[in-house]
Amino acid sequence: MEEKQYVIDSLSIDESWRVFRIMAEFVEGIETLSRVHNAVTFFGSARLKPDDIYYQKAENLARLLVQSGFSVITGGGGGIMEAANKGAAEAGGKSAGLNIQLPFEQKPNPYANINLHYKYFFIRKVMFVKYAVAYVILPGGFGTMDELFEALTLIQTKKIKSFPLILMGSEYWQGLIDWLKYGMLKEGKISPADLDLLQIVDEPEEVVKLIKKYVII
């Protein structure tokens, strides 16, 4: 009985200390990213290579955004994240990478000039949305969808101030838009105004113009 009680107490202590680890990640993120202004957060697949058209568009877009006075935030890994950090860094801008500990895929890219490392997904997600003036979502997988729909939910429910949610790549995203329109909207699961939260753009120059319509620097 005493041994069982000791195990329970040990687990309780471990849970308590976890709270301090969570607090530490929040504090570090806030202190670091509070110096990153007018940031556009990029999402997209970590699996894309430099010869992929969307990698190249992400790199070019980040470069153009920095030249227009914006900063860049990414998840800090490869693919689209690497491309955006690279384009921003080469243009001389601030480029943050918010890395997450994963058993596969996620390795920090060498281009972010501001680096943070997270154990907890939910803290990292708070940092993405807290310091973003816009989201640019390029083709990606489950993680990309997660970030997109969380932002949509927060804006729809007015938990955060609305900001541009830009889907880059009409060919990739059109199927999703059709499902939202002819599935969710048609069946009354969302309202027409909810669909207006998303905008599809293909070219980097058009993305910059769109963001500058909403954000005054």
Q: Could you give the CA distance from residue 46 to residue 65 in angstroms, rounded to a whole number?
A: 21
pLDDT per residue as tens digits for the range 136-157: 999 999 999 999 999 999 999 9
Q: Could you give the CA distance from residue 52 to residue 187 in angstroms, rounded to a whole number?
A: 37
pLDDT at residue 130 is higher than 70:
yes
Domains, in order of start, for the chain: 2-214 (3.40.50.450)
The tokens of 27 are what? 């504090």
Q: What sign has the CA pseudo-torsion 26, 63, 76, 111? A: negative
Taking alpha carbons only, the member of 51, 50, 111 closest to residue 77 is 111
**CB crowding 89-100: b at 16 or more within 10 Å, else e:** bebebbbbbbbb
pLDDT of residue 50: 98
pLDDT of residue 216: 81
pLDDT band at residue 105, thresholds of 50, 70 and 90? low
pLDDT over 70 percentage in the chain: 93
pLDDT of residue 7: 44
pLDDT at residue 46 is higher than 70:
yes
The model scores a pTM over 0.85? yes
Q: Could you give the CA distance from residue 114 to residue 46 in angstroms, rounded to a whole number?
A: 19
Higher model confidence: residue 56 or residue 106? 56
What's the average model confidence in pLDDT over 74-92?
A: 97
pLDDT of residue 8: 47
pLDDT of residue 217: 78
pLDDT at residue 2 is higher than 70:
no
Least confident of 14-18, 117-121, 161-165: 14-18
pLDDT of residue 103: 74
pLDDT of residue 96: 98
What's the average model confidence in pLDDT over 115-122?
A: 94
Q: Could you give the CA distance from residue 54 to residue 107 in angstroms, rounded to a whole number?
A: 20
